[in-house]
A and B are shown apart, each in its own frame.
Chain A
Amino acid sequence: MADRVALFVTCLGDTLFPQVGQATVAVLERLGVTVDFPREQTCCGQMHVNAGYAREGLALAGRFVNVFDGYDVVVTPSGSCAAHVRTHYPELLGDLTRGVPERVVELSELLSREGYEDVGASWHGRVTYHPTCHSLRLLGLGDAPTRLLRTVAGLELVELPDADVCCGFGGTFAVKNADVSSAMLADKIAAVEASGADAVCACDSSCLMHIGGGLEKRGSRVRAVHLAEILASVP
């Protein structure tokens, strides 16, 4: 693996879920990787582009490229943000990408690319995996996350019914179409509970914020955890 990587922690991870960024750093450092955190980083602009604010999204894309230009590998614990940078930046920026988008990888993608299956993690309990839409369909993560989960000591991976159906988050969709989003979430929560898991895991803090928030609102005993948090935990 590259000896040195830059961490793109995402605006949401930085502001609301610092434990996910910390877990990402812990996993990488355990594998002997030096992690840089370019402090100028803020947001990749995904929400602005997807909500129709193209000018703002373009400015943020340009800024992202400036901040991360010069790093061979930029790792992020978000399938959705990685997908935005990799698939949408070339359309947005044309010739101005400076090769940055293709160097951005999601955490499980990086680990799998470098041949890691067992990162020495340990977790007690039954976990089900929700493949977030953008990590599944735009990024094509495939079974990289579940292959990692299967090697975690003490972890029993259980199947999620209708796993590939959207949880209903969709960025501003969750607010603009709150009722439909809530109905989609109700289906996802029913599936999570039917799986028999005591934790639902994913590669995106945004979707986990949605699913976890719904689970808690209903008083469910199932909790939402990010893949990085599971991989970072040690006996």
Chain B
Amino acid sequence: MSRDSGRSAVAVPFPEAARAALENEQLRSNIRRATSSIRARRGEVVAEVSDWEELREAGRALKDAALQDLDGVLLWLEASVTRAGGVVHWARDGAEANAIVVDLVRAAGASEVVKVKSLATDEIQLNDALERAGLSAIETDLAELICQLAGERPSHLLVPAIHKNRTEIRDLFRESFGQPDLSDDPFELAEAARLHLRAAFLRARVAISGANFAVAETGTICVVESEGNGRMCTTLPETLITVMGIEKAIREWRDLEVFLQLLPRSATGERMNPYTSLWTGVVPGDGPSAFHLVLLDNGRSRVLADEKGRPALRCIRCSACLNICPVYRQTGGHAYHTVYAGPIGAILQPQLSGETGQPGSLPFASSLCGACYDVCPVKIDIPSILVHERVNAVAAQRQGLEGVLLRRLARLFLDRERYERAQRLGRALQRPAVRGGRLRWFAGPLKGWGASRTLPALPEQTFREWWETRDRGA
């Protein structure tokens, strides 16, 4: 199986992909258990911060300030990185970014790279591009490594192997590492991965990372992680290449104070994450001697130009919205067929793919319950952007029977007499399908409803008919 991390125009529609996921009991129970425990931890550590709402507001304001002036902030970042001895590259899209990285790896004389967990490089399918160029990439984040060894796509922004349990991972490691006696003890599994990775760290000449934040004022890149593998990548190899979406730039060093509180609590439910790596250009004799920063647009400028969709670019990839989402909890991330799964993926992916892709089914993969908005540390009103994307989808794609029905319904609602006639007509037409006050069979779009729910028949009297008789009686 290839690691199909991007979303192609022919991606399976969400309802169909979700059906497959719903049939996988093991997957659902793994995801349910994992999201429940992260959700509970997040709830606890957020509740203990008395000014959490003020922090969220600060996070929103800082992100908006950077986005409002993003062209200026990026030039500022470029100047700071350059001054500190780094080299900045600009990439319009994934193909450009991949070509830049391939050239840099070749120039460094390496045939293999170690990678820090990075969504941006998943988005542009960098690993595939490296492979096509005859270069191999080793994912060093434990869960990313598990996905890579299994040939599967990550199913969660932060916990990419959330769909797998310990036993499944043990079986994978037994086969991949040639250790048939491995148990499913977490320590033993981690140790097996550690030994495998340690060798890769020691021979690596080039590392590739993403960025959680990039400070324009100082030219500092920040990566937040739990395992320490990222720290190995950013310190051991001679060459370090960072690929970051342009929306990761923030203005000032002091802004980090807000985000480094918001992110770990929202993401893993920790007060502080174990490793926060910060680096500024290159320092002779300490760490990599060459640093390259690839600034990736890949649709972000277009999102920025859309006032209603723009707040999606505030996202700091904490994944709290995935963990709280009742839809994600049922299906897991693979059903979304995108790197960015869950509620944030349902708004980001259609926006990033823009004119070249179809808005598709993702904006509709939500009941609009609003739980995602409540937990978002940078206050992205995801439900409103979902509706905005639905409007775009309805404008761009024929909606078939749904479109016909909803437009006709609107015409009835706009004309009270026609509406009342339709109520009476419906009551007459439903007769063959009614038994015991319930609809017996469901036609057309209502079929899906009838599979798990009954529906009351239209009653003998509407409210307004009752009101009329009551008025006459009074």
Which residues of A are at the interface with B, using a C-beta cutoff of 8 A? Answer: 9, 11, 13-18, 21-22, 37, 39-43, 45, 47-54, 56, 59-60, 63, 133-134, 137-138, 164-166, 168-187, 209-210, 213-214, 216-217
Q: Is there an interface contact between A16 and B369, defined as CB atoms closer than 8 Å?
A: no
Closest to B447 in A: A178
Asked if A166 meets B371 with Cβ closer than 8 Å, knowing A16-B458, A176-B15, A217-B454, the reply is yes
Q: Return the contact of A166 from the options B22, B326, B363 (Cβ within 8 A).
A: B326
**Among all A-B residue pairs, the 7 with the closest Cβ atoms:** A178-B448, A170-B367, A52-B390, A213-B453, A166-B369, A56-B410, A182-B452
Residues of chain A lying within 8 A (CB to CB) of residue B451: 178, 182
Given contacts A166-B326, A214-B453, A217-B454, A47 and B369 within 8 Å (CB-CB): no
Nearest CB to that of B453 among chain A residues? Answer: A213
Whether the pair B367, A179 counts as a contact (CB closer than 8 A) is no
Q: A48-B410, A51-B390, A133-B369 are in contact. List 15 more A-B contacts (CB 8 A).
A: A14-B423, A14-B462, A16-B458, A17-B456, A18-B463, A39-B416, A52-B387, A53-B410, A133-B367, A170-B367, A180-B18, A182-B451, A185-B452, A187-B326, A210-B453
Within B387-420, which residues are at the interface with A (CB < 8 Å)?
387, 390-394, 402-403, 406-407, 409-410, 412-414, 416, 419
CA distance A229 to B452 in the complex (A): 25
Given A15-B423, A18-B463, A37-B464, verify A183-B454 contact (CB < 8 Å): no
> Of all chain A residues, which has the CB nearest B15?
A177
Q: Is B365 interfacial (CB-CB < 8 Å)? A: yes
Interface residues of B (CB under 8 A from A): 14-15, 18-19, 22, 326-327, 330-331, 363-371, 373-374, 387, 390-394, 402-403, 406-407, 409-410, 412-414, 416, 419, 423, 426, 438, 445-449, 451-456, 458-459, 461-467
A173 CB contacts on chain B under 8 angstroms = 364, 366-368
- Closest chain A residue, CB of each to CB of B459: A18
Contact A180 B414 (CB under 8 A): no
Main secondary structure of the interface of B (DSSP, over half): helix
Note all chain B residues with C-beta closer than 8 A to A174: 367, 448-449, 453
**Distance to closest chain B CB from A188 (angstroms):** 9
Q: What is the bound-complex CA distance between A11 and B355, given in angstroms?
A: 37
Evaluate whether A179 and B406 lie within 8 angstroms (CB atoms) in the complex, with A170-B368, A217-B452 already known: no
Most-contacted residue by chain B among A9, A22, A165, A166 (CB, 10 A): A166
> How close is A200's CB to chain B, nearest CB, in angstroms?
14
Q: How far is the CB of B37 from chain A (nearest CB, A)?
A: 14
> For B22, what are the chain A residues with a Cβ–Cβ distance below 8 Å?
179-180, 183
Query: Which residues of the partner chain B approach A134 to less than 8 Å between Cβ atoms?
Result: 370
> Contact between B461 and A172 (Cβ–Cβ < 8 Å)?
no
Q: Which residues of B contact A213 (CB under 8 A)?
A: 449, 453-455
A137 touches B373 (CB 8 A): yes
Chain A min CB distance to B154 (Å): 21
Report the tally of A-B residue pairs with Cβ distances under 8 A: 182
List chain A residues, Cβ under 8 A from B368: 50, 133, 170-171, 173
What are the residues of chain A within 8 A of B465 when measuring CB–CB? 18
Residues of chain B contacted by A182 (CB below 8 angstroms)? 451-453
Which of the residues B15, B19, B454, B462 comes within 8 Å of A15, measured between beta carbons? B462
B406 and A56 contact, CB distance less than 8 A: yes
Task: Given A13-B463, A52-B394, check contact A184 B366 (CB 8 Å).
Answer: no
Chain B neighbourhood of A180, CB < 8 A? 15, 18, 22, 327, 330-331, 365
Asked if residues A15 and B373 are in contact (CB atoms below 8 Å), the reply is: no
CA distance A50 to B410 in the complex (A): 13
Residues on the A chain within 8 Å of B410, using CB: 45, 48, 53, 56, 59-60
Known interface pairs A176-B364, A179-B448, A213-B454; A42-B416 also in contact (CB < 8 Å): yes
* Alpha-carbon gap, A132 to B429, bound state (A): 32
